[in-house]
Amino acid sequence: MENFIAYNPVNLHFGKNILSSLGKTLKEYGNRVLLVYGKGSVKKSGLYDRIMKDLKAQGFDVCEYGGIKSNPVIEDVDAAAAIGREHQVDVILAVGGGSVIDSSKIISVAIPVPNPGWDFFTGKAKAEKAIPLVAILTLAATGTEMNPFAVVSNHATGQKSAFGSPLTFPKHSFLDPELTLTVPRDYTAFGVADLIAHCFEAWFGIGDTTLTDRFVISIVKEAMEYGPQLMSDLQNYEYREKIMFAATMALNGMTMYGRSTGDWGVHSAGHSLSLLYDVPHGASLTIVYPAWMRHFKDRIENRIVQLGAGLFDETLTAGETINRIEAFFKSLGCPIRLSDLNIPGDHRQPLFESMVHNKVNGGNVKMKEEDYWGLIGLYL
Ligand code: NZQ
Ligand code: ZN
């Protein structure tokens, strides 16, 4: 086992009607609220009206920034931070999926400084102060609700990068599974895949820790059991609840206890697909994960075999395990090759260049440029 420090300050509010204490929670931080949301799902579902009515009734002064796109971009972060600065907000309320909450984390550290948000990703700016962030999660997938990470794209520099600091944990996150009942079929499946991929990234990291391995296997088994049931009954509250809980546990630090690093090579490679073709994050992972395991099979054979035994309660070869995992992703309706997405053009060279430019690599399984070609060949 590797030495580790466990730290997670997020107050997680989980369950039906949990939003009833939202106003009281926001009041802890002040009266001026910056509400941040995405492209419109919150308006369609009625959540926006409900929150606005509630906050106005309690005397909050609310300004807003709507329009954060999926695979969020730095321009929106800067525009929202400008609004927050102008209104001298006391607290940020992020309502949405990973894209909205990740953007809000950078907005929270960007408001107190004159720097553009991208400076946090390049190291030009340090997070020394943050406007408190309260999140309402509407999509189970990323785990952002209980971690400090933010992933944002900068198309001007051709990068999709992650930032995290002890200041970018949300102060409170509200998770009412009912709010995820409207998530469409495709993003529901991508969310299940994403949470499984987070577990795998931990599994293929560095650190021999049997208890944490059991956490990982339990979370993935939960997702493999209830994910398909949810796909055939999208309105089922209990399945939504199980997947939401699993997604939060998959990336809140718990799967990293006793490890010095996760791998994250698949996420890193997947970001190039999202950058170049706006592939939804979860879909990028169902394309890259099987290819990555096949490409590196000889280097990590034992670990893949252990994963197969843990997940399927049978003795399988590494190849059989990979086939089963790929078949599972496919059964959810996720793409497993880039060609499944019917994106026209020849993608080899641009993908390779993006991977070089973004220094795609894993924390454990190190990649060289020839590995990029190997991966691309397997997932096209
Ligand atoms: O924009 P709106 O209209 O809100 O629609 C969104 C969007 O189209 C929609 N949606 C969200 N909640 C909904 C809903 N539609 C109906 N009903 C609801 N209740 O779903 C679409 C996808 O939303 P998005 O926030 O983009 O998805 P997700 O939560 O998967 O977030 C993806 C982003 O998170 C990053 C990814 O790279 C990607 O940029 N990640 C963040 C991580 C973290 N912070 O720890 C880790 C992850 O590995 C990941 O990298
Ligand atoms: Zn992910």
Q: CATH number of the domain at 320, please.
A: 1.20.1090.10
The residues whose Cβ lies within 5 A of ligand 2, an ion, are 194
User: Which of 133, 153, 180 is where one domain is finished?
Assistant: 180
In 3D, which of 65, 113, 111, 118 has the Cα closest to residue 89?
A: 111
The Cα 71–Cα 91 span in angstroms is 24
Proximal ligand: closest to the CA of 145? 1
Q: Check: CB of residue 45 under 8 Å from CB of residue 96.
A: no
Report how far ligand 1's centroid is from the alpha carbon of 340 (Å): 21
Mean pLDDT score, 207-215: 97
The token pair at 375 is 């991966």
Q: 3-class SS at 150?
A: strand
Same domain, 176 and 63: yes
Report how far ligand 1's centroid is from the alpha carbon of 3 (Å): 32
Mean pLDDT score, 102-116: 98
Q: Does 66 map to a domain?
A: yes
| Closest CA to ligand 1's atom 28 | 98
The Cα 98–Cα 264 span in angstroms is 17
* Ligand 1 pocket residues where CB is under 6 Å: 38-42, 45, 70-72, 96-100, 102, 138-139, 141-144, 147, 149-151, 179-180, 182-183, 187, 194, 251, 267, 281-282
Proximal ligand: closest to the CA of 71? 1
Which stretches of 66-170 are assigned E, i.e. beta strand?
Answer: 91-96, 133-137, 149-154, 159-164
| Closest CA to ligand 1's atom 48 | 142
Q: 3-class SS at 35?
A: strand
Q: Which of 44, 47, 70 gets mutated to test ligand 1 (max ligand atoms within 8 A of its CB)? A: 70
Q: Does 270 map to a domain?
A: yes
Our count of domains for the chain comes to: 2
Q: Does 4 map to a domain?
A: no
pTM of the model: 0.98
As a whole-number percent, the residues of the chain with pLDDT over 90 amount to 99
Residue 345: its pLDDT value, please?
Answer: 87
Find residue 159's DSSP bridge partners: 154
Proximal ligand: closest to the CA of 286? 2
Length of the chain: 380
Q: Which residues contact 312 (CB under 8 A, 6 or more apart)?
A: 321, 324
Report how far ligand 2's centroid is from the alpha carbon of 88 (Å): 33
What confidence category does residue 154 fall into, taking pLDDT thresholds of 50, 70 and 90?
Answer: very high
| Closest CA to ligand 1's atom 39 | 71
Same domain, 155 and 190: no
Proximal ligand: closest to the CA of 103? 1
The number of the ligand 1 atom at minimal distance from the alpha carbon of 285 is 48
Q: Does 40 map to a domain?
A: yes
pLDDT tens figures, 322-341? 999 999 999 999 999 999 99
Report how far ligand 2's centroid is from the alpha carbon of 99 (Å): 11
Proximal ligand: closest to the CA of 251? 1
* pLDDT above 90 for 81: yes
* pLDDT above 90 for 344: no
Residue 347: its pLDDT value, please?
Answer: 94
Q: Check: CB of residue 22 under 8 Å from CB of residue 51.
A: yes
Same domain, 171 and 40: yes
Report how far ligand 1's centroid is from the alpha carbon of 48 (Å): 17
- What CATH number should be reported for the domain holding residue 165? 3.40.50.1970
Mean pLDDT score, 127-154: 98
| Closest CA to ligand 1's atom 15 | 183
Same domain, 71 and 191: no
What confidence category does residue 141 fall into, taking pLDDT thresholds of 50, 70 and 90?
Answer: very high
Report how far ligand 1's centroid is from the alpha carbon of 188 (Å): 10
State the CB neighbour count (10 A cutoff) for residue 288. 29
| Closest CA to ligand 1's atom 18 | 183
| Closest CA to ligand 1's atom 47 | 142
Q: What angle do CA 126, 132, 135 make, to 5 degrees?
A: 115
Same domain, 153 and 36: yes
What is the average pLDDT value for the chain, to the nearest integer? 98
User: Which of 151, 180, 209 is where one domain is finished?
Assistant: 180
The number of the ligand 1 atom at minimal distance from the alpha carbon of 102 is 44
| Closest CA to ligand 1's atom 44 | 144
Instruction: Tell the residue number behind the tokens 């991508």, with chain if given.
Output: 190
Residue 162: its pLDDT value, please?
Answer: 98
As a whole-number percent, the residues of the chain with pLDDT over 70 amount to 100
Report how far ligand 2's centroid is from the alpha carbon of 219 (Å): 15
Same domain, 304 and 164: no
Range of the domain at 62: 11-180
The Cα 343–Cα 347 span in angstroms is 9
